Amino acid sequence: MKNTIVVGAQWGDEGKGKLVDVLAEQSDLVVRFNGGGNAGHTVMHAGETYKFHYMPSGMLHNKLCILGTGVVINPKDLLEEIDSFTSSGHTPRLKISARAHVIFPHHQLIDAKEGGKIGTTGRGIGPAYSQKASRINLRILDIIADDAQSRIKDALRDVKDILIYEEIFTEDEYQKYCNSVSVEYAAYGKKFKPFITDTEDLVRIAGKVEETVLFEGAQGTLLDLNYGTYPFVTSSSTLAAAAFVGGGAIPGVPIRILGITKAYTTRVGEGPFPTELSGDAAINLREAGHEYGATTGRPRRVGHLDLFALRYAIRISGIQELAMTKIDTLALVDGIKVCTAYKIAGKEIDYFPADAPTLAQVEPVYTDVPAIAELTKAEWETLKGKSKDDLPESISSYIKFIEDFVEIPITILSHGPERNETIVF
Ligand code: GDP
Ligand code: IMO
Ligand code: MG
């Protein structure tokens, strides 16, 4: 069986967590490969709601779950997540890459000061990745080392000038911070020891014994650091390719790349959003879909499905098939449209603008969509195992329209947040 990479095909929150939970049942290993606590993946099963920020969404199936090298980890937050999962009666089978980088409180303080114009999640993601790239950050292997305290103090010396210059700390506060954080993080390191290993080797061995690996992306393609709507992006790569770098996926091993898209579009934080709705239409869609961020609780910006942006995301990430979520939500609103082209100054363009101010100026060209049929749970149940042609005409023609435009198939349709509210074609 092929390995699978799950990635968001929009600006995040597409329902990756739900789909990973569904697919984890047939997988042996589930691997997160990018991002950190900025992710919020909601999984609903048997009436319980789980919000995973770090732990892969395959946790509920008791599969071996991995946080790969590409992830940045706030040990305090991860330990809290592990504790809360354990106290709800589960036993996490978790392994963490020794090479994953650590998020420190000073990263969050810098993020709080500088992240405003992007509307970051405030989890310290940008500063942690930028200090990783500057080679002045610490990895998990440092905080579990016997000399963790002195490694932390040494590393803090490297960022002292930044912290004082940025007015994050006064000299006095900096000294106190060094003393307290080195003790605190070395203590986390002790708790982490049993979880730490060479996770890439686990992925490699899984391949040898023909186990199936599911790679779980965080965020979405349009938030990718290189190909997203820069600078309104996150600080890691969110593309399927990142599973190779950050998760240990092995080039050459057969892989299925599944992109997740909502039946409409949402975005949290700042940045261009060509099909964004406003006024009552936005309120109606937001409330119908309970569109509030799983990490920050912020109301999500909502809009029509942007097929022009989706097709770009599919091409850039190499997505081979789509899972579409929240068709049930789309059935609750009127005036549905999909964007099929962008115009600038009245002229259609044939590229997805790399420049954020240009993207902010595009005029979307829309096609009206007939109202989506609203089905009861019992009606959905009768459609399990059926083909796309057996769906109500409004839904099958919506799917067909999207497939024709983006030139890949929709192979999974999600019609509710619960695991069993899923149709696989
Ligand atoms: P992720 O970050 O991609 O994992 O997505 P989030 O969990 O942040 O946001 C998706 C939200 O939609 C969550 O609250 C899910 O429970 C919910 N959800 C996922 N699929 C569906 C669906 O098909 N219908 C409905 N109504 N909700 C869904
Ligand atoms: P999941 O995995 C939606 C957005 C933030 C902000 C930008 C940069 O749940 O889909 P960051 O804190 O990463 O530096 O913020 O990216 N963002 C997300 N939006 N879903 C996410 O994750 C996101 N992670 C980051 O809102 O605009
Ligand atoms: Mg989310």
* pLDDT, tens only, 28-69: 999 999 999 999 999 999 889 999 999 999 999 999 999 999
- Tell me, using a 6 A CB cutoff, whether residue 268 lines ligand 2: yes
Query: Average pLDDT of 248-260?
Result: 92
Closest C-alpha to ligand 2, atom 3: 12
* pLDDT, tens only, 294-307: 888 899 999 999 99
Best residue among 67, 113, 223 to mutate for probing ligand 2's pocket (most ligand atoms within 8 Å of CB) is 223
Task: Look at residue 121 and tell me whether its pLDDT is greater than 70.
Answer: yes
Are 405 and 311 in contact by the 8 Å Cβ rule? The answer is: yes
Q: How confident is the model at residue 419 (pLDDT cuts 50, 70, 90)?
A: very high
- What are the tokens at 112? 């709080």
Best residue among 6, 111, 114, 120 to mutate for probing ligand 2's pocket (most ligand atoms within 8 Å of CB) is 120
Distance 323 CA to ligand 1 centre (A): 12
Residue 1 confidence (pLDDT) = 62
Residue 252 confidence (pLDDT) = 86
**Measuring from each residue's beta carbon to the nearest atom of ligand 1, which residues come in under 6 Å?**
8, 12-18, 40-42, 44, 294, 325-326, 328-329, 414-417
Domain 101-194 has CATH 1.10.300.10: yes
Which sequence spans correspond to the domains of the chain?
Answer: 3-71+201-424, 101-194
Active site residue ranges: 13, 41
CA dist 36 and 71 (Å) reads 6
Domain 3-71+201-424 has CATH 3.40.50.300: no
Please give the single-letter amino acid code of residue 9: A
CA dist 31 and 66 (Å) reads 5
| CA nearest neighbour of 121 among 298, 272, 299, 261 | 298
CA dist 290 and 292 (Å) reads 6
Are 255 and 2 in contact by the 8 Å Cβ rule? The answer is: yes
Residue 263 confidence (pLDDT) = 98
